[in-house]
Amino acid sequence: MKWEIKEGLKYARTHEWAGFEGDLVTVGITDYAQDMLKDVVYVELPEIGQEAQVGESLAVLESVKAVSDLYAPVDGEVVEVNEALLDQPELVNEDPYGEAWVVRIRIDAGYENPELLGEDDYAALVKEEADR
């Protein structure tokens, strides 16, 4: 498969990744998603303090090809946004799992979203979509 899928992250069917560290979840879009979008030219970030709910749009990524929503993979409160993306939206294409994280969400202790996929299940989803 030509797209990177990082170990240790959880994945939404809408192609967001979630990295869990205690009660903080870092969220971005996957390598597959950035490849489908092509050149990202603009990122609209949420407000700090905004409530995030699974499946609701949190941010907007605009590319030369399309406008795409970033959906919340967890319920919680937005506590940090990656302002570097405002000046450098191309980071989304260059480093989707690193410099181009989009938002950090504080979750309640013990919170889990059973809908999130591990890397093997996400790899199968990407393969299925790419083969269509």
Judge if pTM exceeds 0.85.
yes
What is the domain partition of the chain in residue ranges? 10-131
| Sign of the alpha-carbon torsion through 129, 15, 69, 31 | negative
Q: DSSP letter at 50?
A: P
Dist. CA 49–CA 118, nearest whole Å: 28
pLDDT digits (tens, 9 = 90+) for 40-70: 999 999 999 999 999 999 999 999 989 999 9
Reduce the DSSP state of residue 126 to 3 states and report it. Answer: helix
Q: Is 95's pLDDT higher than 90? A: yes
Reduce the DSSP state of residue 85 to 3 states and report it. Answer: helix
Residue 73 Ramachandran class (φ > 0 left, ψ -120 to 50 alpha, else beta): alpha
pLDDT value of position 4: 96
Instruction: Give me the CATH code for the 10-131 domain, please.
Output: 2.40.50.100
Q: Is 1's pLDDT higher than 80? A: no
